Structure formats: structure tokens, C-alpha cells
Structure 1
Amino acid sequence: MSDPGPASSPSLRAAGMRQTPQREGILQVLKDSDRPLTVEEIWERMPERRSGLPTVYRNLERFVQEGWAESIMGPDQVMRFVRCDSRRHHHHLQCERCGRTVEVDACGLDESLIELETLSGFRITRHQLMLFGLCPTCRSEKDR
């Protein structure tokens, strides 16, 4: 499966964004990490730190809008960001021990959401679900 990811220039341009080393650096840092990262962690890992933290924040906000990243509130109430490969609706699983996060291209909540709309009178426009557990590596270490 090829990666049509946003680190390639056409995706930035297709979204109406200039291709800059800072934007490519942010996307690459997210792609290289298997754990959600804070803005500061992303900035520290960028190969070229010509931009400040406000620029990283602004770009991450745009990447979330484009579906290239997702913001995840950590257990410490600190916002972190993870790269999203799927452009479709999806969720994430996070290991409670090591923090490794994987994207799952599944939802299964459609019927429940319809029922919630009926009961509440709300029109649900979006939802975000984070699932927690132990990754295969941490499970095998725990079993030893």
C-alpha cells in the first residue's frame, strides 16, 4: 500500500498551502512517531527550527482541518497530535503502558448515533472516540 500522505508536495498544494520546510518537517515528525506528540515535542524533533511554536500550532490546526492529523487529549490534560493516514472517518487505539497509538479504520457507531439524535434532539455532526488498552508488545511483556 503506497503512502499518499500529506508529506508529499501535491497534497500541500492541493490544500492551497505553500510547501515549506516547516510544514514538511511537522508532517514528517508526525509520520515518524508511533505516539501522540505535544506541540513542543514536534518542534524539538523538527530538523529545521526556523519557525516558532505559534507557527507549529497554526500548521497543526490546519492539518487537523485537512484530516492529516488528529488532536488527542492526554490523560494529563495536555493536547497531543497524531498523524492520520486515512482520510475517512476513523478512530485510534492507544496503549496505556507505552503510549503507542494506532489508527483503526472502523467505527460501528452509526446506529447508536442515530438513536442518540432521536433521544436528544441534537443533530450530531461529528464524534471522536479514543480507545485504550495494551498493545501486543506490552501484553506479551505483562504475560511473562
Structure 2
Amino acid sequence: MLEPAPPSTPSLRAAGMRQTPQREGILRVLKDSDRPLTVEEIWERMPERRSGLPTVYRNLERFVHEGWAESIMGPDQVMRFVRCDSRHHHHHLQCERCGRTTEVDACGLDASLTELEKLSGFRITRHQLMLFGLCGACRAEKDR
């Protein structure tokens, strides 16, 4: 069974970054959302919008690099960002109805990827898997 990933708190200073209200605001917005957000949605939800969209983009890029966030391509081909609690390899489940996203601390693809490497001659360095379905709340609502 897939288990939700344990929460963790990123340390801006430990990553060599200054602790600014803008960075803290971006991280807080991501943490408070259970759905992936566009850069514009993140900016609109920031308590103090003293920074422009380019600053939000740059910080999100760094947060993805640090493993604190992940970029997810939406069905409308718009890039969205979701907060990641685990710093190691993981995947996400997303509800097709409400958009709620859950991080899962499981993969299970190692054997398949090893076989794929043998068949293709590729050395697989990373992968990203997005799983879609209906969350418990939407399933219960649909069953009513």
C-alpha cells in the first residue's frame, strides 16, 4: 500500500539561501495548498507581493533543485508546482476531479527500469511518474 510521505521543513539557510519574506511566502503558499499551483496562483496567494513574477519563477526553480517542490505539467499543458515533503525520490497522485495532489513515498519501478535499460541500451538517470484517479472525498461524493 502506498504511504503518504512524512513532512519535512526546508531550511533556506542550510541550502545557502537568504531567508527572505518572498521565499518564505512561496514555501508557505505551496505548503498550504493541496493542489498544484501555477506561478501566477502562487504569486496571487503570497501575503506580501513585493516581488515580481520573475522572482517567483527563479525561487521555484531553486526549490525544485533543492527537492522542496516539483513541477508538474497539467492536462492543459500549463506548468504547476507542488510542495514536496520528502527529499528523496517519490511520486504524486492527483485527483482528476478536484485536483487534490498527494505525495507518495513509493516507486516500485526499479525492476522494470532495469529491464528497460537492458532492452533499450539507455542508462536511465531519472524518471517522473504522475498517477491519476479519484480521491476519497470525490469517490464518496460520486457514490452518493
TM-score band by shorter chain is over 0.9
Q: Cα–Cα, structure 1 residues 24 and 108, in superposed 2: closer, same or farther, change >3 Å?
A: same
Q: Secondary structure at the match of 2:55?
A: helix
Aligned to 2:8: 4
CA distance in 1 between counterparts of 2:13 and 2:61 reads: 17
Aligned pair 1:54/2:54, yes or no?
Answer: yes
Aligned to 2:81: 81
Aligned to 1:123: 123
Aligned to 2:72: 72
Runs of 5+ unmatched residues, structure 2: 1-5
Structure with larger RCO (C-alpha < 8 A, sep 6+) = 2
Aligned to 1:103: 103
Q: What is the root-mean-square deviation of aligned Cα atoms in Å?
A: 1.3
Q: What TM-score do you get using the length of structure 2 for normalisation?
A: 0.95
CA distance in 2 between counterparts of 1:100 and 1:78 reads: 16
Checking the alignment, whether the CA contact within 8 Å between 2:36 and 2:82 is kept in structure 1 is yes
Q: Cα–Cα, structure 1 residues 130 and 3, in superposed 2: closer, same or farther, change >3 Å?
A: closer
Q: Secondary structure at the match of 1:31?
A: helix
Any idea what the Cα deviations from partners look like across 1:27-46, whole Å, max 9, x if unmatched?
Answer: 00000000000000000000
Q: What TM-score do you get using the length of structure 1 for normalisation?
A: 0.95
Aligned to 1:31: 31
CA shift, 1:5, in A, is 1.1
CA shift, 1:3, in A, is 4.5
Runs of 5+ unmatched residues, structure 1: none
Aligned to 1:15: 15
Residue type of the partner of 1:4? S
Larger fraction in helix = 1
Any idea what the Cα deviations from partners look like across 1:85-110, whole Å, max 9, x if unmatched?
Answer: 01111000000000000000000000
Q: Secondary structure at the match of 1:113?
A: helix
Residue type of the partner of 1:18? R
